[in-house]
Amino acid sequence: MVGVLKGSFMFMADLIRHLECDVEVDFMGTVSYGASTESSGEVRITKDLERSVAGRHVLLVEDIVDTGLTLRYLLDTLRNRQPASLKVCALLDKPARRRVRANLDYYGFIIPNAFVVGYGLDYAEKYRGLNYVGVLENPGS
């Protein structure tokens, strides 16, 4: 199981607790938002995997799929590392903002076009610790 940092950590921890099998865990960190509510469109890896995924079954765990740009970048990166299989699980899917095709194998909820925080999701590193997901009405105020 590969979690996308930082937002997926709470969802991934809860997901693991509900699985009836042992899993190995690793993380990749990415940046595309910074302190904004809009994706820059440029994705970069800030933390890479510690172990090879070659020949292994991989479940990529995301907090939210928005534009699809980060997901596409990560899937391309991971496919080049030749896993046996690669599937995607996201807590939230926001298709209204999609800029590229994003196929999710599993998702929790489809949400409207709103900026959400909580349960690991943040705005400028704030609100991650909320035990719920809520809409951020006035970011920066």
The residues carrying an active-site annotation are 66
Cβ-proximal residues to 139 (8 Å cutoff; 6+ apart), any chain: 37, 115, 123, 124
Give CA–CA dist 33/39, Å, rounded: 5
Please name the amino acid found at residue 19.
L
Angstrom distances, CA of residue 74 to CA of 4, 69, 103, 111, 130:
9, 9, 13, 22, 27
